[in-house]
């Protein structure tokens, strides 16, 4: 649904801190901190995850899943696996 890296990146794009995201989503600050400190996909109560995702969407963030096309318009950033480095000849 959402990764910790996506949450941090979304906050950075919005220019907000964890406390502000907590306020926007109606989720406690310690919960936001725990979610962002996790590895990979954020795990938690579905209702809590939905509140965060909905708050980010309302603020203008489009979360894009693996191999999914973007449906939004405007500028953005997308993470991809780095290209393999060329081997020296």
**CA-closest candidate to residue 55, choices 19, 79, 86:** 19
pTM over 0.85: no
pLDDT in tens, 30-74: 999 999 999 888 988 999 999 999 999 999 999 888 878 888 777
Domains of the chain from N-terminus onward? 4-58 (1.10.260)
Reply yes or no on whether the pLDDT at 77 is more than 80.
no
For position 13, what pLDDT does the model report?
Answer: 93
Q: Which residues pair with 64 in a beta bridge?
A: none
Rounded to whole angstroms, the Cα distance separating 58 from 50 reads 12
Task: Please give the structure tokens belonging to residue 87.
Answer: 């081997």
């Amino acid at each position: 649904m959402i990764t910790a890296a996506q949450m941090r990146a979304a906050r950075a794009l919005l220019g907000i801190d964890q406390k502000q995201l907590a306020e926007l989503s109606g989720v406690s600050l310690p919960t936001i901190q725990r979610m962002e400190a996790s590895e990979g996909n954020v795990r938690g109560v579905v209702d809590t995850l939905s509140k965060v995702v909905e708050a980010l969407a309302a603020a203008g963030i489009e979360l894009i899943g693996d191999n999914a096309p973007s449906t939004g318009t405007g500028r953005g950033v997308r993470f991809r696996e780095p290209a393999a480095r060329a081997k020296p000849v």
